Amino acid sequence: MGNGTSRLYSALAKTLNSSAASQHREYLESPDPEHLEPIDPKELLEECRAVLHSRPPRFQRDFVDLKTDCPSSHPPIRVMQWNILAQALGEGKDNFAQCPVEALKWEERKCLILEEILAYQPDILCLQEVDHYFDTFQPLLSRLGYRGTFFPKPWSPCLDVEHNNGPDGCALFFLQNRFKLVHSTNIRLTAMALKTNQVAIVQTLECKESSQQLCVAVTHLKARSGWEQFRSAQGCDLLRNLQNLTQGAKIPLIVCGDFNAEPTEDVYKNFASSSLNLSSAYKLLSPDGQSEPPYTSWKIRTSGEYRHTLDYIWYSKHSLSVRAALDLLTEEQIGASRLPSFNYPSDHLSLVCDFSFNNEPDGLS
């Protein structure tokens, strides 16, 4: 990628002010893409913690075991879904009313995001609102063993913000020691036959342990109220594409996204009733297994307080099982100023699930 890439990487070379961080900043500052030595996740985590030494500690979240009856012979596949909040939107467009500007400083906020990823070490990582792919996530995550793909929004609202870092978009990462890439597609979603500003990435992966194929999609649908039918049309377009890419639901599927839609919306209902036989993983955390969590995003804008369930991990319910899911933050943990905050870097919570295949060729199930 030549000089353009070097320019993008140079953002990583910024000196961190924290004196405690100075002994630990080797990885966060490594600017040379030609010498991408592997990073030990523990050391990067230590480096992030040193940068964050003056902030309150990370929130404790526990995994809830959901399927302990039948053991699996292969390690589970951990999937993380997260709208990480684009830096340009957080500082320039979202109008957060209670979040101090210092909590949004990129040099520290990026460490909170990395800390969250490193704490759970997903095998597959699906992100939205990524506007620091080339200078932060791609170089660091590739050194942790991930292969990444980024697909920016064609008219990202980040570009309207002064001193932006480029467009935001979706990113999909997978651990190369667990998967081989079989097929990758970037989709610009349509609504009523027109191209829209929303995108998806869909990849077919082959599991190295079991040779089973898995199709993974990441998307971020149109935001705001008044756009419900538009989101529904975008969802229909994504479902149509997924029908083809899974060869008519033959390949097990996981769809991660910020759907910007409550479960009452048509787009949710269309996903829940599609012939792809999808179920939403986080419903399993509810007592009856039928209800979505009360919120996945909680923020106070100058226009008011917004508490919504918008983010989902859909999975093929006949071919995959959810073995565990990371519990959400409580209202008390989130605090009165809501999100983002000094403790949590985004207005959306991360969702993390452990999956296993129901029919493992050599399995015990």
Ligand X SMILES: NC(=O)C1=CN([C@@H]2O[C@H](COP(=O)(O)OP(=O)(O)OC[C@H]3O[C@@H](n4cnc5c(N)ncnc54)[C@H](OP(=O)(O)O)[C@@H]3O)[C@@H](O)[C@H]2O)C=CC1
Residues that bind ligand X (CB under 6 A): 83, 89, 93-95, 129, 153, 155, 157, 160, 197, 222-224, 258, 260
Smallest separation (angstroms) from ligand X to the CB of 311: 9
Fill in the amino acid letter for 92: G
State the Cα–Cα distance between residues 239 and 258, nearest whole angstrom.
Answer: 15
Smallest separation (angstroms) from ligand X to the CB of 135: 20
Smallest separation (angstroms) from ligand X to the CB of 201: 16
Nearer to ligand X, 128 or 210 (CB): 128
Nearer to ligand X, 47 or 116 (CB): 116
Residues 346/86, Cβ–Cβ less than 8 Å = no
Smallest separation (angstroms) from ligand X to the CB of 91: 12
Q: Which residues contact 187 (CB under 8 A, 6 or more apart)?
A: 199, 200, 201, 202, 237, 238, 241
- 302: which 2 tokens? 């100058």
- 195: which 2 tokens? 């191209």
Nearer to ligand X, 78 or 231 (CB): 231
Phi, psi of 94 (to 5 degrees): -70, -20
Smallest separation (angstroms) from ligand X to the CB of 131: 10
Residues 247/316, Cβ–Cβ less than 8 Å = no
Residues 217/202, Cβ–Cβ less than 8 Å = yes
131 burial type by CB count under 10 A (0-12 exposed, 13-18 middle, 19+ buried): buried
Residues 199/151, Cβ–Cβ less than 8 Å = yes
Residues 245/207, Cβ–Cβ less than 8 Å = no
Nearer to ligand X, 149 or 196 (CB): 196
State the Cα–Cα distance between residues 339 and 334, nearest whole angstrom.
Answer: 7
Nearer to ligand X, 45 or 125 (CB): 125
Which ranges of the chain would DSSP assign to H, the alpha helix? 2-9, 26-29, 41-51, 87-92, 106-120, 138-143, 228-245, 266-272, 331-334
Smallest separation (angstroms) from ligand X to the CB of 145: 29
Nearer to ligand X, 42 or 224 (CB): 224
Smallest separation (angstroms) from ligand X to the CB of 259: 9
Nearer to ligand X, 90 or 148 (CB): 90
Nearer to ligand X, 198 or 246 (CB): 198
Smallest separation (angstroms) from ligand X to the CB of 297: 7
